[in-house]
């Protein structure tokens, strides 16, 4: 059975439980500043944008097993960009 989503927001809501689980796992490791949206945006830009035939199961697996060092690097870059824009 194929599941299709009408909007990106609908898909986000569908994987939100996995995102919350990962965020809680990161929070236990003293990474409380990371939000569900950070994980979502990282995977959307770095992994899922290049994927073909991506399934919901693949997405949940990616969320729960993401490389935390790469996520950390992505978040630092995004925060640096935001801070640079605030200065301008």
Tens digit of each residue's pLDDT (9 = 90 or more) over 7-19? 999 999 999 999 9
The answer to whether 39 touches 72, Cβ cutoff 8 Å, is no
Residue 78 lies in a domain: yes
52 occurs within a structural domain: yes
For the entire predicted model, the pTM comes to: 0.87
| pLDDT reported for residue 88 | 54
**pLDDT value for 27:** 93
Is the model's pLDDT at 85 over the cut of 80?
Answer: no
The pair of three-digit structure tokens given for residue 47, joined into one six-digit string = 């992994």
| Domain count across the chain | 1
Q: 6-15 contacts: CB < 8 A, separation 24 or more? A: 12/40, 14/56, 15/40, 15/56, 15/59, 15/60, 15/63
- Least confident residue range of 27-41, 59-73, 74-88: 74-88
User: What is the C-alpha separation between 75 and 70, in angstroms, rounded?
Assistant: 9
For residue 49, the enclosing domain spans 8-87
In this structure, is residue 77 part of a structural domain?
Answer: yes
Q: Cα separation of 13 and 83, whole Å?
A: 28
């Amino acid at each position: 059975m194929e599941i299709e989503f009408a909007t990106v927001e609908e898909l986000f809501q569908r994987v939100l439980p996995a995102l919350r689980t990962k965020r809680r796992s990161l929070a236990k490791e003293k990474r409380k500043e990371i939000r569900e949206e950070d994980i979502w945006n990282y995977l959307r830009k770095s992994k899922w944008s290049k994927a073909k035939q991506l399934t919901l199961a693949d997405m949940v697996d990616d969320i729960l097993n993401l490389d935390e060092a790469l996520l950390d690097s992505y978040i630092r870059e995004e925060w640096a960009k935001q801070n640079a824009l605030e200065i301008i």
